[in-house]
Amino acid sequence: MNKNKEEQPVALLFAGQGNPVIGMGADLWDLNQATKRIWDCASDISGMDIRRLCLKGPMNRLIQTTVQQVAVTAINVTLFTLCREKLHSFEIVGSCGHSVGEYSALYAAGAISLETLFQMIHFRANVMNDLSHSNKGHMLAVKGIDHQRLQNLITYSGMAIDISCDNSRHQQVVGGESDALGAFSRVLLDTGYESVKLGVSGAWHTRLMADGVPLMRDYLASVDIDCPQHAVLMNVTGKAEQDPECIKENLSLHLTHTVKWTDSMDQFLINEPPVLFVEISNKAYLGQMLNDFIGFSPDKIAHCKTLLSN
């Protein structure tokens, strides 16, 4: 990394679930005592051998949210821990996590402990998994469309579809019951937009998760969350939040509300001086979405594994 980049403030971007692969994280879990502790904590709290599931699957198990959320979080915090020394001389001005990645962002900001992190993830994943069995659905990624255009199509169709993620001005994710999404995919095709089914086991961030909101509120009421040490831009609002009680409410509403990723990235992109985005993920994809934003250039993004190799 060159000197000019080292002078820039840094914004950390943490991945969510959606693209699991067999073998993910296999190069991370036994690098040192710190990484071993992370994966031990993930397995102990979840009651699953997360190492083995990541290494060998099977894929139909790995895509289950009870596994995938824990695995993604283990990878995120391992990569952050390994990069922390590289980032020591930088000014971290904020962090943001996509969907379940928001919990990793809170951990990176010192708002929650490692044990609390995995306890929260384990509870959340089980709530979402239970609801996905009683309210079956899935999610579709739609490229080449902005939030307002997509919302207009949903409103016009009259279908029970929700926008799960506003990822950029050219990429959205919708969720709902399978029959409704099947019909809506044809509406999209008729209007010139193609959709791709995501590798997740439920319709996250939609009305199908509504019964989980009070369960999350009740659970989080007794969870210790501190004020973040740097700004954490939250998915529900697209803005930074410092108050632990407001953070808890946002995490509860997270189950049903749109991930406002576009709003969050816009907040970072108006920062002066310009931020260097550091993506914390198994495989780079958040940086690719940034290409849709005005004022962004490829030299403003670095992947954590690139940092580690330098």
Q: Give the pLDDT confidence of 45-93 residue by residue, as tens digits.
A: 999 999 999 999 999 999 899 999 999 999 999 999 999 888 887 899 9
Give a yes or no: residue 205 inside a domain.
no
Residue 36 and residue 88 in one domain:
yes
Q: What is the pLDDT of residues 161-189, one digit of tens each?
A: 999 999 999 999 999 999 999 999 999 99
Q: What is the mean pLDDT of residues 195-220?
A: 95
Torsion of CA 261, 266, 268, 269, to 10 degrees: 140
Measured between alpha carbons, how far apart are the two ends of the chain, in Å? 7
Give a yes or no: residue 184 inside a domain.
yes
Report residue 5's pLDDT band, with 50, 70 and 90 as the boundaries: very low
Give a yes or no: residue 81 inside a domain.
yes
Identify which has the larger pLDDT, 14 or 6: 14
Residue 237 and residue 125 in one domain:
yes
CB atoms inside a 10 Å sphere around CB 116: 18
Asked if residue 3 has pLDDT above 60, the reply is no
Domain assignment of residue 170, given as a range: 138-197
* Sequence-ordered list of residues with C-beta below 8 angstroms from that of 282, at least 6 positions apart, any chain: 15, 21, 24, 25, 72, 75, 79
Residue 36 and residue 179 in one domain:
no
Residue 80 and residue 183 in one domain:
no
Q: Measuring CA to CA, how many Å separate 109 from each of 23, 29, 88, 104, 117?
A: 28, 22, 13, 9, 12
Cα distance between residue 228 and residue 107, in whole Å: 9
Q: What is the pLDDT of residues 252-277, one digit of tens each?
A: 999 999 999 999 999 999 988 889 99
Residue 49 and residue 128 in one domain:
yes
| DSSP label of 259 | B
Q: What is the mean pLDDT of residues 231-237?
A: 98
Residue 7 and residue 117 in one domain:
yes
Q: What is the mean pLDDT of the chain?
A: 93
Give a yes or no: residue 235 inside a domain.
yes
CB atoms inside a 10 Å sphere around CB 37: 13
Cα distance between residue 277 and residue 184, in whole Å: 34
CATH number for the domain including 271? 3.40.366.10
Cα distance between residue 135 and residue 139, in whole Å: 13
Residue 119's closest CA among 23, 14, 251, 280?
A: 251
Residue 215 and residue 78 in one domain:
yes
